[in-house]
Amino acid sequence: MTRWSLLLALVLLMAVETAAQIGFKFAGDSALPLTLDAPWIERLLKEPWLYVALACLTASFGVYMTMLKHAPLGPVFAASHLEIVSVTLFSIAYMGDRLTLLQVIGCCAIVAGVLVLAVTEGEG
């Protein structure tokens, strides 16, 4: 896998994983109030966002498995967790969430870890 195709796969993985998480959020919000009974399950199963989220999750699994087959394990595994950062940024931009200092540090640590693994892959 070339660097460009790996980068493209990473962007695709982040996009579909982020879309899956956002879809689950919207589906959950639409199925409120949470009552854990048959009408709640029916509301949830009628929610289109649930199916968008499941489709995106399936796509992300396929992209991830393809990346694992063709790229080094360390950077691929670490990069698969970048959706935490992208979902956080989406929630700030579109849902009015606010970050704490600890969350900023956590997001920076995730990005730094992925970068370190990507840069040092093949050394040693």
Q: Does 47 score more than 60 pLDDT? A: yes
Span 4-43, pLDDT tens digits: 888 888 889 989 999 999 999 999 888 888 888 898 899 8
Q: For the residues 41-61, what does the mean pLDDT come to?
A: 93
17 within 8 A of 80, measured Cβ to Cβ: yes
pTM comes to 0.82
One-letter amino acid at 70 equals H
Span 75-121, pLDDT tens digits: 788 778 888 999 999 999 998 889 999 999 999 998 998 888 777 77
Q: What is the CA radius of gyration of the chain?
A: 17
Task: Tell me what pLDDT residue 122 has.
Answer: 61
Task: Tell me what pLDDT residue 28 has.
Answer: 87
34 within 8 A of 40, measured Cβ to Cβ: yes
